Amino acid sequence: MVGEEIVTSGSTSCQGCGHAILARLAFKAFGRKTIFTLVPGCIWITLSRNIPLFSTGTVFEGGGALVSGITNGLAARGIEDMNVVAFYGDGGTADIGLQGLSGAAERNENVFWICADNQAYMNTGGQRSGATPKYAQTTTTPASYIRRGKRTKRKNLPFIVAAHDVAYVGTASIAYPSDLVGKIEYAKGLKGFKFLHVQSPCPTGWGFSPSDTIKVARLTVQSGIWPLFEITEGNDFRLTYKPRELKPVGEALGLQRRFRHLTDGESQEIQSRVNGQWKQLLEIDGKRLPY
Amino acid sequence: MIEIRLHGRGGQGAVTASRLLATAAFLEDKHSQSIPMYGTERRGAPVTAFVRIGEKDKMVRSLIHEPDYVVVLDSLLRKTVNITEGLKDDGMLILNSSVPPEEIELLKPYKVATVDATGIALETLGRPITNTAILGAFVKATGEIGLESVIEAVKQQWKGTLGEINVKAVEAAYEATEVGDPKIVAEVVGEKAPAGSRADWRTFRPVVDLEKCTGCRLCWVYCPEHCIEMVDDKSVIDYAYCKGCGICVEECPVGAIEMKSESERGE
Ligand SMILES: Cc1ncc(C[n+]2csc(CCOP(=O)(O)OP(=O)(O)O)c2C)c(N)n1
Ligand code: SF4
Ligand code: SF4
Ligand code: SF4
Ligand SMILES: [Mg+2]
């Protein structure tokens, strides 16, 4: 994997943090001509000092406005060759940051938004977010005899963004670094709004051994829980990883303490939903989405 | 009133240890407080917690600056964190260490208790979580709390097997703890670590077998700390920054990397 090393050692993220692996791969792909922005979260607190590029941060709600302002300011000064990167968590993207994301996407601002999705508000101790999957335990969705973890499914974030008809939407995984880096290298050359939704397993919040970060990421892709795809030119859909056969979801879920309470019936429900979704994705693979 | 400061690393359970100790004191009809020091403690990062035990009308609600006891859950932490800061002259250190008290280097003649809590935790729990073992050492070394009270607090915290194996950890540490006088030195030579070093976050260190390494670079690609360099097509780890997560061990396709316990280096 080529690309200059930008992220330095010595961050304060947990042992085995997915965000740390993602940051290194992503900034290798962006290169030095990059400005990145922050909203509150683990990336800002534990990692941002180890990314020696120009950066600035704002309140949770302000991420979309911040990148929009920067890119328009640069354009006004005739600077066209900088990557303006939003590097936010799922809270800063899917929940609190959603209105700003939608505004920037609708205006097709020339920015690159990466959502580092660890599926909860991890910096504040792991509260559920709109990106937390169904049944997952978080500190605000404990499992007990009356509750089974989170009650509802996670938002379908890439399709929400795609519905804005933007330059690029993709999903990626840190277990598939060449797919991830390839997507950034391709999309950073496009003008307009680029969105990459990267799963970022969190050993602390999901409850797995720090040595298993890549293993968990890989198993979720191989089982279809985290499909890899991209949507180009507004609505051109393509799966970028198509195993002939999906692995059962049990292996990926079994490694994570947040799913330890699952009954067979609940695991089966997750399995059938994943199967159904995968079938739909195969049907639209290589086709234009209907909008 | 006695005041205790605990040092550990995120994931070793220092905050739980402080709670267990306060609960054990409470079970003995004493007044107690468990005070976690909240920050952004990440798994592996140094963590501090406090316990205060005393009588009702003498209790205050401040942080503890001059403890009577300092309890250290991690064996390497004392090389990078100033663990004796503010410790009263007649105070005592209870250390997780595989060496006897006489080999612990200190500036002042504090009483020292040592126990190989990591070894005991690995034997009893199968994981290097040292919070219950170190409590066994605290009981033995200080006599401030009864062994039965600590065991009861542990049983209240964890039911079933988890409770049982933690009780075993407490008992094994109680048996193995040694109390003595440290080696007094003019200067404690800490590890010379570069800025931002994370060396003290590790319990295990990955060691590469250069014979087996095929130079595939997978460990280099996935290491979250960017502390692996490929030198002549072999994986070389910078131990100043390796946090000991074990991803490289898990991902190496030929099993060329092995985790070795840090304390085996001979402290
Ligand atoms: C408006 C507002 N609400 C709450 C907070 C507190 N807060 C800081 S970081 C954080 C969690 C961030 O979660 P996410 O965006 O998913 O990032 P992660 O830490 O999980 O990477 C919260 C709730 C805040 N800073 N601002
Ligand atoms: S809580 Fe999770 S996302 Fe945050 S630093 Fe730790 S491992 Fe990384
Ligand atoms: S993953 Fe294993 S074989 Fe490959 S470079 Fe690293 S140590 Fe060598
Ligand atoms: S254990 Fe391996 S992967 Fe983890 S920080 Fe150390 S060298 Fe990197
Ligand atoms: Mg998050």
Summarised one tens digit per residue, pLDDT across range A48-61 is 999 999 999 999 99
A71 lines ligand 2 (CB under 6 A): no
Domains delineated in chain A: 18-284 (3.40.50.970)
| Rounded CA separation B80/B93 (Å) | 16
Q: pLDDT tens across B91-141, in order? A: 999 999 999 999 999 999 999 999 999 999 999 999 999 999 999 999 999
pLDDT value at residue B191: 62
pLDDT value at residue B267: 44
Q: Which residue has the least CA distance to atom 3 on ligand 3?
A: B213
pLDDT value at residue B10: 86
Give the residue on B whose Cα is nearest the Cα of A13.
B42
The number of the ligand nearest the C-alpha atom of B199 reads 4
What is the phi/psi pair of residue B176, to 5°?
-90, -10
Class of residue B258 by CB neighbours under 10 A (exposed 0-12, middle 13-18, buried 19+): middle
Domains delineated in chain B: 2-184 (3.40.920.10), 199-265 (3.30.70.20)
Question: Does the distance separating the beta carbons of B43 and A204 come in below 8 Å?
Answer: yes
| Rounded CA separation B3/B95 (Å) | 16
pLDDT value at residue B41: 67
Return the structure tokens found at B150: 């600590």
Q: pLDDT tens across B39-51, in order? A: 656 888 888 999 9
Return the structure tokens found at A119: 């599926």
B199 lines ligand 4 (CB under 6 A): no
Size of interface A-B (CB pairs under 8 A): 88
Interval between CA A184 and ligand 1 midpoint (Å): 25
Q: What is the mean pLDDT of residues B17-31?
A: 96
Residues of B in contact with A201 (CB under 8 A): none
State whether residue A58 is helix, strand or coil.
coil
| Rounded CA separation A114/A38 (Å) | 11
Neighbours of B45 (CB within 10 A): 21
Q: What is the mean pLDDT of residues B144-156?
A: 97
Give percent above pLDDT 70 in chain B: 95
Residues of A in contact with B195 (CB under 8 A): 10
pLDDT value at residue B266: 47
State whether residue B161 is helix, strand or coil.
helix
Amino acid in position A100: G
B254 lines ligand 3 (CB under 6 A): yes
Q: What is the DSSP string of B29-93?
A: T-EEEEEE--S-PPTTSEEEEEEEEE-GGG---S--SS-SEEEE--SSGGGTS-TTTT--TT-EE
pLDDT at B189 over 80: no
Q: Work out which ligand 3 atom sits closest to the CA atom of B208.
A: 7
Interval between CA A96 and ligand 2 midpoint (Å): 19
Class of residue B85 by CB neighbours under 10 A (exposed 0-12, middle 13-18, buried 19+): exposed
Residues of B in contact with A20 (CB under 8 A): 224-225
Q: What is the mean pLDDT of residues B56-80?
A: 89
What is the phi/psi pair of residue B207, to 5°?
-125, 125
Q: Work out which ligand 4 atom sits closest to the CA atom of B228.
A: 7
Q: What is the mean pLDDT of residues B179-206?
A: 85
Give the residue on A whose Cα is nearest the Cα of B247.
A211
Question: Does the distance separating the beta carbons of B10 and A13 come in below 8 Å?
Answer: no
Q: Which of B184, B199, B191, B176 is nearest to B104 (CA)?
A: B184
Q: How far is CA B237 from CA B208, B219, B250, in A?
A: 8, 10, 15
pLDDT value at residue B75: 84
Residues of B in contact with A21 (CB under 8 A): 222-224
Residues of B in contact with A121 (CB under 8 A): none
Report whether B72 contacts B35 (CB < 8 A): no
Give first-to-last CA distance, chain A, whole Å. Answer: 36
Pocket residue to mutate for ligand 1, from A58, A61, A101, A122, most atoms within 8 A of Cβ: A122
Interval between CA A13 and ligand 2 midpoint (Å): 6
Question: Does the distance separating the beta carbons of B195 and A46 come in below 8 Å?
Answer: no
Pocket residue to mutate for ligand 4, from B208, B242, B249, B257, most atoms within 8 A of Cβ: B242
Query: Å from B195 to nearest chain A CA?
Result: 8
| Selected residue with higher pLDDT from A2 and B68 | B68
pLDDT tier for residue B177 given thresholds of 50, 70 and 90: very high
Interval between CA A208 and ligand 1 midpoint (Å): 22
What is the phi/psi pair of residue B38, to 5°?
-85, 135
pLDDT value at residue B36: 85
Q: pLDDT tens across B210-252, in order? A: 999 999 999 999 999 999 999 999 999 999 999 999 999 999 9
pLDDT at B265 over 60: no
Element (H, E) at A23: helix A18-30
Return the structure tokens found at B122: 């690995």
Of residues B40, B196, B244, nearest to A45 (C-beta): B40
Q: Using alpha carbons only, what angle is made at residue A59 by residues A57 and A65, rounded to the nearest 5 degrees?
A: 75
The stretches in chain A having pLDDT less than 50 are none
pLDDT tier for residue B55 given thresholds of 50, 70 and 90: confident
Question: Does the distance separating the beta carbons of B44 and A24 come in below 8 Å?
Answer: no
| Rounded CA separation A160/A106 (Å) | 11
Query: Å from A9 to nearest chain B CA?
Result: 5
The tokens 């979580």 sit on which residue? Answer: B129
Q: Which of A108-117, B60-69, B196-205 has the highest mean pLDDT?
A: A108-117
* DSSP H helix total and E strand total for chain A: 10, 8
Pocket residue to mutate for ligand 2, from A11, A118, A214, most atoms within 8 A of Cβ: A118
| Rounded CA separation A262/A143 (Å) | 9
A98-106 and A63-76 helices cross at what angle (nearest 10)?
Answer: 30
Of residues B225, B241, B250, nearest to A212 (C-beta): B250
Q: Which residue has the least CA distance to atom 6 on ligand 3?
A: B219
Question: Does the distance separating the beta carbons of B45 and A213 come in below 8 Å?
Answer: no
State whether residue B173 is helix, strand or coil.
helix
Q: Work out which ligand 2 atom sits closest to the CA atom of A116.
A: 3
